[in-house]
Chains A and B, each alone.
Chain A
Amino acid sequence: ETGVTQTPRHLVMGMTNKKSLKCEQHLGHNAMYWYKQSAKKPLELMFVYNFKEQTENNSVPSRFSPECPNSSHLFLHLHTLQPEDSALYLCASSQALGASYEQYFGPGTRLTVT
């Protein structure tokens, strides 16, 4: 595998379920990101990690819980979600933090909350 991979690609869950999204990057990068892409809103940055440490949390509800065990893996744990949380969740990585570093995106997980 090369680049940024995400699993699962599609997920349907009920509002009382607990599930996790996984992201893995094979690029040797040190920074990783979670984005939410909704049908009716621009892409929104959710969390930023640098060398496994969270550096940004853009006022994301606590029902979304990120985890970064190492620089190559990033998880998004989901619990008691709402239907409005249905969206495409994109993971990205970059060599380092900073505006000059290109972000490489994964294919996304299409989440549907029923």
Chain B
Amino acid sequence: AQTVTQSQPEMSVQEAETVTLSCTYDTSESDYYLFWYKQPPSRQMILVIRQEAYKQQNATENRFSVNFQKAAKSFSLKISDSQLGDAAMYFCAYRSLNNNDMRFGAGTRLTVKP
């Protein structure tokens, strides 16, 4: 079964600086989707960015970008120009194309310091 590992339980960043959150996964599949979700305190989880494994180009969404290294099974999230509103739990997730299961990592709590 696929597993997702987020090795950083907590991270902090200074406002306006850049931070990178790490995620690694284990799979024997060649095609799949990877996601980063954001869960602000007491608020709903929202999708930040997604990456299709067959696409070599790294996904970007405004200040958010990923570094997808398929061979290394690594999927890190870079947040540029960090804002106070970026403070949240961030979850990395893996979705197989062969079933409906989505596997999540344990999460990284990001603190943004003013």
Contact = CB atoms under 8 A, between A and B. Distances in A.
Interface stretch (B10-18, B44-52, B60-68, B70-78): B44-52
A53 interface: no
Contacts of A44: 104
A3 interface: yes
Interface residues of A, number: 22
Nearest to A47: B100
Q: Main secondary structure on chain B at its contact with chain A?
A: strand
Contacts of B42: 107
Given A48-B100, A100-B33, A42 B43 contact: no
Contact of B104 (A42, A56, A106): A42
Contact of B47 (A58, A103, A106): A103
A43 B102 CA distance: 9
Contact of B44 (A43, A45, A56, A106): A106
Q: Main secondary structure on chain A at its contact with chain B?
A: loop
A29 to B, nearest CB: 14
B48 to A, nearest CB: 11
B99 interface: yes
Interface string A45-57: 1001000000110
A106 B39 CA distance: 11
Nearest to A40: B106
11 contacts: A4-B44, A42-B4, A42-B105, A42-B106, A42-B107, A43-B104, A45-B102, A100-B52, A103-B47, A103-B102, A107-B42
Interface of A: 3-4, 41-45, 48, 55-56, 58, 90, 97-100, 102-103, 105-108
